[in-house]
Structure 1
Amino acid sequence: MKFAVSYSTPYHGIDPDKIVAYARHAEDCGFESLYVPEHIALYPGAMVGRFELPPSLPYFDPLDCLSFVAAATRRILLGTGVLLLPYHHPVVLAKRLATIDVLSKGRMRLLTVGLGALPGEAQAVGVDFSTRGRRADEAIDVMRLLWAGGEDGVSFAGEFFTFDDLCQFPKPYGVTHLPIHIGGSSRAAARRAGRRGDGYFPGGALDPNERAIQLDLARSTAVEAGRNPETLEYTRSGPIDMTVDQVEEFAAQGVTRIVVSATATEPDRQREEMSAFAQRFALLERLSSQSGPSGD
């Protein structure tokens, strides 16, 4: 089991010193990775499920935030939870991700992408809300093609993106492509994870039966696509006070990574929560038995 921590600016704040302190403490505790969320724009009445998002919630650009975190840390992996893929041009996004990965020496390895649930947000960036699933699929294919392409260039002709003989350097740090995990709470997301994802990160508002159905669907879709379902990582969110028994239950369900988040708003209390979790699950001992992507 791998353990990650998330930092949500709407809840934890946008003070850069606090973000750095949070990330550094997570790294010192032995957490594998740090995740940040994304919303590009909000508006009055924006609803995610039954919950209304106050329009004043502050969301940093996740990749700019992770670049900032990377410069202040040494080892911790960088993740998005989730990046709204249909609202980014994949040629530009591939460049940004490779840049962060190179500058961080191979730590931009937990990109999790989703479709977005706010029609007004899609409209604001000129994306037809009804096409965002197909657009995301193409974007994944475009990024992987660019990362793997050589000096002769690569070409793509799709519904949304078209180019000829395109070259993009630098490449990700020491790999042919960056892992792309699929986030979402739908069976369509599970199928997308099976067809194209390196991992699946379902949302929190699912009952146990639906979770099991979606995981099985992701794995069976991977088989149908000629992919190995055993390589599909399975990430879930969990409370920072979760017990050993709860973690073992997650593991029995096939979970390979758990993402927790400090619930306190005061920095000292946040560090206490992370430290207690790290001690409970011996994160530093786990870390010492593993090698990081950059050999640290």
Structure 2
Amino acid sequence: MKFGISYSTPYYGVDPDRIVAYARHAEECGFESLYLPEHIALYPGAMVGPYELPPSLPYVDPLDCLSFVAAATRRILLGTGVLLLPYHHPVVLAKRLATIDVLSRGRMRLLTVGLGALPGEARAMGVDFATRGRRADEAIDVMRLLWAGGEEGVSFEGEFFAFENLCQYPKPYGVTSLPIHVGGSSRAAARRAGRRGDGYHPGGALHPDERALQLDLARSAAAEAGRSAQALEYTRPGSIDMTVEQVEALAAQGVTRVVVSATSAEPDRQREEMSAFAERFSLS
């Protein structure tokens, strides 16, 4: 089992010293990865399910913040949970991700993408909310094509993106493509993960039967697409006070990575929680 930890700027704050201290302590404790969420813009009345998001929540740009973290750490992998893929142009995004991966010497390896749940955010980005799934599928294809392409250039003709003989360098660090995990708690997200993802990262409060069904959907979609169902990583959120028995139960369900988060916004308490988790699971 691999263990990641998230840093939520809306609740922990955006002080750069605190972000660096959190990331460094997570690295010292032995956590595999650090995740950041994304919202590009909020507005009064924005709802995610039954919850209203206060419009003043300070969501930083996750990739800019991860670049900052990469410069202050040495080993910890960099992740998003989730990056709102339909709201990014894939040609620009492919360049940004490859740049971070090169400068961090291969640590931009846990990109997790989602569709976004706020219609007002989609409108602000000029994206038709109803088509964001197809747009995300195309964006994944575009980025992988650009990363793998050589000096002869690559071409693409899709519903949303098109180009001819395009070359993009630098390439990701030592690989032909960066892993792309798919987040979301819907059956469509599970199928997307199987068809195009390197991993599936569902969230939300799903019934165990629905979780199992979605994992089966992801694996069957992978097999139908001629991809390895067993190679699909399965990441789940967890509690920082979870027990060894709870993690063993997740492993029995096929989970390969658990991502936790500190419950406190107070730095000393955060460090205590991380250290206790690391000791409980012998991370370092």
* Short-chain TM bin: over 0.9
What is residue 237 of structure 2 aligned with on the other side?
A: 237
Q: Please give the alpha-carbon distance, in whole angstroms, between the structure 1 residues aligned to 2:185 and 2:164.
A: 35
Distance in structure 1 (CA, Å) of the matches to 2:206 and 2:259: 16
Q: 1:86 maps to what in 2?
A: 86
User: Where do 4+ consecutive residues of structure 1 move more than 2 Å?
Assistant: none
* SS class of match (1:160): coil
Classify the secondary structure of the residue corresponding to 1:283.
Answer: coil
Residue ranges of structure 1 left out of the alignment (5+ in a row): 285-296
Aligned to 1:215: 215
Secondary structure (helix, strand or coil) at the match of 1:147 reads helix
Equivalent in the alignment of 2:117: 117
Most deviating of 204-213 and 31-40: 204-213
Measured in 2, the distance between the counterparts of 1:13 and 1:263 equals 13
Alignment pair present for 1:18 and 2:6: no
**Residues 89-128 of structure 1 deviation map (CA, whole Å, 9 limit, x = unaligned):** 0000000000000000000000000000000000001000
How many correspondences in the alignment?
A: 284
Separation of aligned partners in 1, 2:185 and 2:72: 33
Correspondence list, 1:38-187, <5 A:
38-187=38-187
CA distance in 2, matches of 1:240, 1:157: 45
CA distance in 2, matches of 1:12, 1:111: 21
Gaps of 5+ in 2: none
Cα distance, 1:207 vs. partner? 1.0
What TM-score, normalized by structure 2, do the two folds share? 1.00
CA drift at 1:204: 2.2
**TM-score calculated relative to the size of structure 1:** 0.96
Q: Any idea what the Cα deviations from partners look like across 1:132-160, whole Å, max 9, x if unmatched?
A: 00000000000000000000000000000
Shift of 1:203: 1.1
User: How far does the alpha carbon of each residue in 1:139-194 deviate from its partner, in whole angstroms, 9 at most, with x for none?
Assistant: 00000000000000000000000000000000000000000000001000000000
| Letter in structure 1 aligned against 2:222 | A
Task: Please state whether the residue corresponding to 2:230 is helix, strand or coil.
Answer: helix
Equivalent residue letter for 2:254: G
Q: What is the alpha-carbon distance in structure 2 between the residues aligned to residue 154 and residue 61 of structure 1?
A: 29
Counterpart of 1:256? 256
Aligned counterparts of 2:233 and 2:216: Cα–Cα separation in 1: 13
Alpha-carbon distance in 1 for matches of 2:136, 2:167: 21
Letter in 2 for 1:65: C
Read off the aligned partner of 1:197 and give its amino acid letter: G
**AA matched with 1:16:** P
1:231 aligned counterpart, secondary structure: coil
1:283 to partner: Cα distance: 0.3
Measured in 1, the distance between the counterparts of 2:83 and 2:206 equals 20
- Code of the residue aligned with 1:181 in structure 2: it is H
What is the CA–CA distance in structure 2 between the aligned matches of 1:88 and 1:265, rounded to whole Å?
30
Q: Counterpart amino acid of 1:119? A: P
Task: Provide the secondary structure at the position in 2 that maps to 1:163.
Answer: strand
**1:270-281 → structure 2 map (5 Å cutoff):** 270-281=270-281
